[in-house]
Structure 1
Amino acid sequence: MPGIHDFEARSLEGGLIRFSDFAGKVLLVVNTASRCGFTPQYRGLQALHRQFAGRGLVVVGFPCNQFGGQEPGGADEIAAFCERSYGVDFPMAGKVEVNGPDAHPVFAYLTEALPGVLGSRAVKWNFTKFLVDRAGRPIRRYAPTTPPETLAADIEALL
């Protein structure tokens, strides 16, 4: 079975995000949306990025429109919103699906490795978070309601 470092994703700018470039780093992978009640979590994600990037954390956002149509914009609109509203400068993938037959391979992998409540594989809503250790092992899945700042201790333990 492939590991997280075997995957790639298109960035919002159209380039390639190679997860192999993150080998040896702790990853926090999050499905995001610009028009969601949890959208202010971008602030907390950016704070984690700012606090821990120098020690080996990489936050990777994956915009997704599967939940209530809360990410309707195109790549340029999403990028401008994230930077303007929250100062996001961590890697952002292009818009993806996280559930179903067209789920991005990163999410197919993470949801299989870290099922949710009662063993459910599906991502339930925007801002579901997945923490991956330096060896590429998925460690923990967090609900959309979990504020990013509460992940600091878990991240610290992996750094």
Structure 2
Amino acid sequence: MQPSNLVALHSQTLKAAGEKGAILDLACGNGRNGIYLVQQGQRVVFSDREKNKLDGISRLLDPSELTSYWCVDFEEPRTEPLSLGSFSAIVVFRYLHRPLMQAIKHGVQRGGLIIYETFTIDQTRFGRPGNADFLLQPGELEDVFRGWEILHSFEGVSVSELNGQQQAIAQLVARKPD
């Protein structure tokens, strides 16, 4: 299972951030990015609302102090799951829940990183997802993290590393101000 090219490309920056605390793989799915980070010696908290996905990841990794598993529904109304702690970095892929964006920003430690990649509204030209609630508007991701140090930003059409299909995505790697 290969990590996202974005995570692999920024692994050294993540390693430096990871020296200050755990990295959250938010809505981790099959855990491909977090598994890669654990293999790089990083402490990772895998979070997803589906316990069976977390169980599958835990079977792939040796039990260690480098991993923990957090079964949580980030979309549950009237909860603030990211207020419980802060992370040296948060990685988010293929997931967008706008009411959570401020909590994600709050959940990153000062000087920590966000690595975010998800679909834009132009994805409707290529297939799923097609619901605008789950698709970024032009410039939206950079707007959310305005004031952070932008280390990488991309918005446009690329080829998916997962299935080789065209996709419309936005990517952002940014450092929270000290």
TM over 0.5: no
- Structure number, greater radius of gyration: 2
The structure with the largest strand share of the pair is 2
